[in-house]
Amino acid sequence: MTDLSVQQQMEADKPSWTRPEGASFEDWMTTRIARYATRKYDWNALKFQADYDPKFRRAQMRYLGTGGTGVSADMNTVPAEHFTFSTMVIPAGHEGPPHIHTDVEEVFFVMRGKLKLVLTTPEGERYETVLTDRDLVSVPPGVYREEINIGDEDALMCVMLGAKKPITPTYPPEHPLSKIKR
């Protein structure tokens, strides 16, 4: 290894919240802010699901890290260290298909709208409820979750995952999306 690659590796091994060497406090803090004005809805993050069935069309707006949608990089986010944070828009009548995270807790905070939440264990136990404005759910790893917009307008929710880069979620074996390659 050259000295430069050793230095680059040392920088890469530092936590994302570490102040870069030589950066002013202002420059460093500027990298820790994700402003709504500079966010864009990413309707392509889960496009493969909407291509299968339009009812799965929804958009992610990333703030901290890339979340669990399978997006590998987004330079317009604050780097993640221990969790990711984004917002998700689910149009009226659309849904997030059942999926499972095996490695992380996932939190949904409904900012506006009306979502039917379906939680299922791999063994088939099922729980349903309705979430509305300012309701929150924390879904443990190993539980399938499905969000269905049963309201008349777009639902908007915050989504937080408990890892810097979560393992990409999977679908129930009998669900048609489980057969689709991303």
pTM above 0.95, yes or no: no
Is 7 contained in some domain?
A: no
Q: Which domain holds residue 175?
A: 41-179
Q: How many folded domains does the chain comprise?
A: 1
44-48, 67-71, 178-182: range with highest mean pLDDT: 44-48
pLDDT in tens, 91-147: 999 999 999 999 999 999 999 999 999 999 999 999 999 999 999 999 999 999 999
Per-residue model confidence (pLDDT) at position 173: 93
Is 94 contained in some domain?
A: yes
4 versus 143: which is more confidently predicted?
Answer: 143
DSSP the chain: --HHHHHHHHHHHS-TTSPPTT--HHHHHHTT---GGG---BTTTTHHHHHH-GGG--EEEEEES-TTSS----TTSBPPSS-EEEEEEE-TT-EEEEEB-SS--EEEEEEES-EEEEEE-TT--EEEEEE-TT-EEEEPTT-EEEEEE-SSS-EEEEEEESSSSPPPPB--TTSGGGG---
Query: What CATH number corresponds to the domain at position 157?
Result: 2.60.120.10
Is 49 contained in some domain?
A: yes
